[in-house]
């Protein structure tokens, strides 16, 4: 015969009592939290203003701004803007060259045509192109085709 107060009958009432206790605890917590006075915010502290004036030239140098007299020396060299990709040389000096400007895709230029803003393609060689300010003036710089490593074909042994 089983007892009317067996352990199996106490699980549901214990769980219900525990849940009600948690709910009551949460209600008391929030009631005390909302009833407490709000904490006063401290006034912002103010610092005295220093009477030091900043040197604008020193600040400009610190931030990387160069004086006008030095900007021309820092400008990139003109030859570094151009890259030679290909050459079609002609014995009568009427060839063409594939030149890329400022990293853009290469474009074809014939001898005597304007390359960029201030330069002219003066002549082409087997692996080079000469560029100057004028077609009949002195050469400003010469572009060379990059040397590529030879392709070696090895047979599996």
129 inside domain = yes
12 inside domain = no
Per-residue DSSP letters for 41-54?
Answer: PPPPP-PPPP-PPP
Q: Is 100 exposed, middle or buried (0-12, 13-18, 19+ CB in 10 A)?
A: middle
Domain residue limits at 112: 78-144
Q: Write out pLDDT tens, residues 110-120.
A: 998 998 888 99
Residue 70: band (very low, low, confident or very high) from pLDDT cuts 50, 70, 90: very low
- CATH label of the domain that carries residue 97: 2.30.30
Residue 155: band (very low, low, confident or very high) from pLDDT cuts 50, 70, 90: low
Number of structural domains the chain divides into: 1
95 inside domain = yes
Mean pLDDT of 47-73: 65
Position 71 pLDDT exceeds 50: no
Could you give the angle at the alpha carbon of 136 between the alpha carbons of 135 and 142, nearest 5°? 65
User: pLDDT: is 50 or 136 the higher one?
Assistant: 136
125 inside domain = yes
Which two three-digit tokens encode residue 114? Answer: 């304007």
> CB-based contacts of 93: which residues, under 8 Å, 6+ apart?
111, 123, 124
50 inside domain = no
88 inside domain = yes
137 inside domain = yes
Mean pLDDT of 123-133: 89
pLDDT, residue 17, reads: 95
69 inside domain = no
Whole-structure pTM value: 0.46
């Amino acid at each position: 015969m089983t007892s009317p107060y067996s352990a199996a009958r106490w699980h549901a009432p214990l769980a219900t009592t525990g849940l009600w206790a948690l709910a009551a605890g949460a209600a008391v917590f929030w009631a005390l939290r909302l009833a407490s006075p709000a904490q006063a915010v401290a006034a912002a502290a103010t610092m005295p203003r220093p009477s030091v004036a900043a040197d604008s030239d020193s600040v400009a140098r610190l931030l990387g701004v160069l004086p006008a007299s030095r900007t021309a020396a820092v400008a990139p060299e003109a030859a570094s803007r151009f890259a030679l990709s290909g050459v079609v040389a002609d014995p009568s000096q009427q060839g063409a060259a594939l030149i890329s400007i400022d990293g853009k895709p290469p474009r074809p230029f014939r001898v005597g045509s304007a390359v960029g803003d201030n330069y002219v393609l003066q002549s082409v060689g087997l692996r080079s192109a000469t560029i100057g300010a004028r077609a009949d003036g002195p050469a400003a710089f010469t572009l060379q085709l990059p040397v590529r490593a030879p392709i070696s074909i090895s047979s599996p042994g």
